[in-house]
Structure 1
Amino acid sequence: MSTKLFLQYPKCSTCKKAAKWLKDNSISVDSRDISVDNPTKEELAGWIKLSGLPISKFFNTSGKIYKEQNLKEKVKSASNEELIEILVSSGMVVKRPLIVSDKYVLVGFDEDEWSEQLK
């Protein structure tokens, strides 16, 4: 995968800011709306491994579903397999935006981190 995948939710203000940053920096990506094209179990498992981050970093902790289902407690005690099942249940549970390449995964929009990896 030489092209980077940009997973985002078009109505998310942080995703809009990230998309503008990508455009302003002439970084081409394949864009994917996470609310209609959910990551698969295989994708998420691979991305989590590649990122080197704990699985908890992939949860949208400010989202409605996260709060309604009290996922904060589940994330502390559930197995990775159970957590991946929760993440694939709805793209809205997944933290966004995400940039996925064959070498790294960026979770959330951190301009400094994105500059370092993408420029």
Structure 2
Amino acid sequence: MLFLQYPPCSTCRKAQKWLEEHGVSYEARHIKEENPTKEELQAWHARSGQPLKRFFNTSGQAYKSLGLKDKLPAMSEEEQLDLLASDGMLVKRPLLIGEDFVLVGFKTAEWEAALCQ
């Protein structure tokens, strides 16, 4: 599994602790240093079953400074993917990528349902 995280993020640290407590092996990737590519984001979005808007870090400074709350609805999916791929700080984190699932953000119930069957 691939675990995309931003180490200073407290939610990412909680998610990482949860993975370790549940014995889940993963490869960690720093989302700011190694930004997801457009192709990765496209594949993850398709596998997640989530709306693309869910992949945006709506509480982040980059999102707010770009005024994306008002701009996103008018943007095409292509434009949104290009934007997400341009800056890892725009991407909601953590992301956990498995063979048949993608978890966006850390919600304990979602992670338990996907990983503790």
- TM-score grouping bracket, smaller chain normalisation: over 0.9
1:77 shift after superposition: 1.0
* Equivalent in 18, 21, 31 of residue 28 of structure 2: 31
Which residue pairs with 2:105 in the alignment? 108
Question: What is the one-letter code of the residue matched to 1:19?
Answer: Q
Residue 56 in structure 1 maps to residue 53 in structure 2 = yes
C-alpha distance in 2, partners of 1:103/1:74?
31
1:79 shift after superposition: 0.2
Secondary structure of the structure 2 residue equivalent to 1:117: helix
Superposition misfits of 4+ residues, deviation over 4 angstroms: none
Sequence identity percentage: 52
Question: What is the one-letter code of the residue matched to 2:77?
Answer: N
User: What is the TM-score of this pair, normalised by structure 2?
Assistant: 0.97
C-alpha distance in 2, partners of 1:43/1:73?
25
C-alpha distance in 2, partners of 1:43/1:87?
11
* Equivalent in 76, 79, 85 of residue 79 of structure 1: 76
Cα RMSD (Å): 0.6
C-alpha distance in 1, partners of 2:100/2:111?
14
Which string of whole-angstrom CA distances, capped at 9 and with x for unpartnered residues, describes residues 69-107 of structure 1? 001112111000000011011100000000011201000
Which residue pairs with 1:69 in the alignment? 66
Secondary structure of the structure 1 residue equivalent to 2:93: coil
What is the count of residue pairs matched by the alignment? 116
